[in-house]
Chain A
Amino acid sequence: MSDENLIVVENLSRNYGNIEAVSDVSFVVNRGEVLGFLGPNGAGKSTTMSMISGNLAPAAGRIMIDGLDILDDPRQAKAQIGYLPEQPPLYRELSVDEYLKYTAKLNRINRPAIRAAVDKAKQRCGLTEVGGRLIGNLSKGFQQRVGIAQAIIHSPAVVILDEPTVGLDPIQIREIRTLIRDLGREHSVILSTHILPEVQMLCNRVQIMHQGRLVLSDSIEGLQRRMQSLALVVAFRKPPDVEALLNIGGVQDVERLDAGRFRISYLAENNPDKALVESAVNQHWGLSELTPEKMSLEQVFVDITRAEFATSINESEAEAL
């Protein structure tokens, strides 16, 4: 194990009764990395995160945090982690200052250092002005920030955030995202979400979970490549015939979308965009739009899970033979 690996998860499984929530998941989180966990609801993201934070014990497998097993040395291992569950663990009857002081004490920060830790967490999360207010009276966005402040108060090596932007309005979402990006400079961050742009904006690496399994682990660039489908959407002011478009080198199929717009599919490694633009200029079609078509997250999910399904069928067939 190199020093780069802050969290090592090996063959992690967990069941709730007969339901297998997480099965045989292994991955690594490196120091200073922002890792995005993507997946539909019920994919096992929250369960995995609860296990890493020590809230749930795994049924099988091992979690090492900075070289410490979370089951063998829970105290030292947990000191390295800041965790914000899906529903922030806030005492509504306490003020922000009281609450952060309490969490600082719970995390065994020395008494003289508590003031400074609370002030720093408040300042980083933009809570300086609301220190004296009761948490119950704050807006949802501020409550979420208090939740994040609680997670970073002891400067943990890794911060785990479970769907931190759910239920916030667009402005609050943007603020929280900025905050998470700042956190990524000092801590490793594990972030779960089902919003794809969020991952693209914030993360270095992405993992996709589906039905308790890890189906993809890739860099952001890798994910973006996967998301490019082999199609262009073009629009013309003076649209040509479908025939004329089909004659351009590399074009596989043309589909008319609406007045003057077409969806052009092509084969991999034979992108017709250049030829298309040249023909459009030469023949005065009045090209007004040319966008590579992107798959939505749902399509990526479907693609990946279908591929998984296919390989598992092939494997079982191979076994049968």
Chain B
Amino acid sequence: MILTIAYRELRSLFMSPLAWVMLAVVQGILAYVFLMQVERFLQLQPRLAAMADAPGLTDIVVAPLLGNAAFILLLIMPLLTMRLISEERRNKTLSLLLSAPLSMTEIILGKFLAMIIFVALMVLLLALMPLSLLLGGSIDLGMLLSGLLGLFLLASSFAALGLYMSCLTAQPTIAAISSFGALLLLWIIDWSGSAGAAADINIMAYLSMIRHYEPMLHGVFNSSDFIYYLLFIGLFVILSIRRLDAERLPH
């Protein structure tokens, strides 16, 4: 049942130009970043060869690439998730789901699954670029994998928050703007932490989404980062289910 809803969602997504344009734009920009980093590596190569324990191809090309990809996804995901529930509400198609023998959990999980599949597709397309380096050099595959997993978790978190925002309103644009605002806030929330030079653990820094992403880019796979993303996703998926359920109740 969850699969049925996810399939319908993806189908509608790929029937509109939106999905294609997004994939193309993301891929285009990241290809440009990728080429810049490769060029930089080629310039640095003579000097790197002289250094002992020099940063490798993966450090110089892949880490910045995935770092930029995260920021672009921050801009793109709200546009992708804004329609999930709000458009069904606006077009009155939500009642089709509500009067079918389905639970709210199935509806929300179906929608979320569609987003995860789309995110996975984007991450896979992106992974092709670093993998192409294998043609002429060698990269640290473990580090690449850790970075890609980090990006996937990060984008899935964006999707969960966007889904919740879409549950709150009947206007896709409002959903997009509010999820963009919330994501950006979570992105920069650690700035206050770094301004105060204190080295002790800062709660703001802990909440920041980017702080849990950066270690993964450098191949450090910390289970606490992993759990942070799972909790984040779980929280917003559950909130979405509750919100959709509350809609039926008298208020």
In the complex, are the beta carbons of A83 and B95 less than 8 A apart? yes
User: Chain B residues near A108 (CB, 8 Å)?
Assistant: 1, 101
Contact B1 A55 (CB under 8 A): no
Q: Is the CB of A89 within 8 A of B94?
A: yes
Q: Which of the candidate stretches A33-41, A71-79, A263-271, A291-299 sits at the interface with the other chain?
A: A71-79
By beta carbon, the residue of chain A nearest B107 is A106
Residues of chain B within 8 A (CB-CB) of A25 are: none
Is the Cβ of A106 less than 8 Å from the Cβ of B96? yes
When each residue 75-92 of chain A gets 1 if its CB lies under 8 Å from chain B and 0 otherwise, what string results? 110110101010111111
Q: 8 Å CB contacts to B: which residues of A87-143?
A: 87-94, 98, 102-103, 105-108
Interface contact tally, CB-CB below 8 A: 79
Q: Mark A48-67, 1 if CB is under 8 A from B, else 0.
A: 00100111111100000000
State in angstroms the CA–CA spacing of A150 and B249 once bound together.
Answer: 25
Interface size class of B (residues with CB under 8 A): 20 to 34
Q: Is the interface of A mostly helix, strand, loop or mixed?
A: loop
B100 x A106 contact (CB < 8 A): yes
Residue of A at shortest CB range from B15? A93
Chain B residues lying within 8 Å of A83, measured Cβ to Cβ, are 95, 99
With A17-B251, A93-B16, A94-B12 known to touch, is A55 a contact of B99 (CB < 8 Å)?
Answer: yes
Decide if B4 touches A57 in the complex (CB within 8 Å).
no
Q: Are A55 and B100 in contact (CB under 8 A)?
A: no
- Say yes or no: A57 contacts B1, CB within 8 Å: no
- Asked if B103 contacts A93 (CB within 8 A), the reply is no
Chain B hits for A89, CB < 8 A: 91-96
Please state if A91 and B98 are interface contacts (CB–CB under 8 Å). no
Out of A15, A85, A107, which one reaches B100, CB within 8 Å? A107
Q: Is A14 an interface residue (CB 8 A)?
A: yes
Residues of A within 8 A of B102 (CB): 75, 106
Write the chain B residue with the least CB distance to A151.
Answer: B99
A55 touches B93 (CB 8 A): no
- Given A59-B250, A105-B4, A106-B1: A54 and B16 within 8 A (CB)? no
Q: Is the CB of B92 within 8 A of A85?
A: yes
B40 / chain A contacts, CB cutoff of 8 Å: none
- With both chains docked as a complex, state the minimum distance between the C-beta of B94 and any C-beta of chain A, in angstroms: 7
Query: What residue in chain A is nearest B16 (Cβ atoms)?
Result: A93
Q: Cβ of B47: which chain A residues have Cβ within 8 Å of it? A: none
Specify which chain B residues have a CB less than 8 angstroms from the CB of A92 in the assembled complex: 91
In angstroms, Cα B105 to Cα A75, docked, is 13
Q: How far is the CA of A232 from the CA of B100 in the complex (A)?
A: 51
Chain B proximity mask over A5-20: 1 for CB below 8 Å, otherwise 0? 0000000001111000
Interface string of B231-251 (1 = CB under 8 A from A): 000000000000000001111
What residues on A are CB-neighbors of B94 within 8 Å? 89
Among residues of A, the one whose C-beta sits closest to the C-beta of B100 is A106
| Known contacts A89-B95, A89-B96, A94-B12; A76 and B4 CB within 8 A of each other | no
Are A79's CB and B16's CB within 8 A? Answer: no
Say yes or no: B93 contacts A78, CB within 8 Å.
no
Are the C-beta atoms of B250 and A74 separated by less than 8 Å?
A: no
Interface residue B72 (Cβ < 8 Å from any Cβ of A): no
Determine the distance from Cα of A57 to Cα of B4 in the docked complex, in whole angstroms.
Answer: 25
Within 8 Å of chain A (Cβ to Cβ): is B35?
no
- Tell me, in angstroms, the Cα distance from A79 to B101 when the chains sit together: 6
Give chain B residues whose Cβ lies under 8 Å from the Cβ of A107. Answer: 100-101
Inter-chain contact B92/A14, CB cutoff 8 Å:
no
Closest A residue, CB atoms, query B247: A56
15 contacts between A and B (CB under 8 A): A16-B251, A53-B95, A55-B248, A57-B248, A57-B249, A78-B101, A85-B95, A89-B91, A89-B93, A90-B91, A91-B91, A93-B15, A93-B16, A103-B96, A108-B1
Known: A57-B248, A103-B100. 19 other contacts (CB 8 A): A16-B251, A54-B98, A55-B95, A55-B98, A55-B99, A56-B250, A57-B250, A74-B101, A75-B102, A75-B103, A83-B99, A87-B92, A89-B92, A89-B93, A93-B15, A93-B16, A102-B4, A108-B1, A150-B96
**10 A-B pairs closest in CB distance:** A89-B96, A59-B250, A106-B100, A89-B93, A83-B99, A87-B92, A57-B248, A78-B101, A105-B4, A75-B101
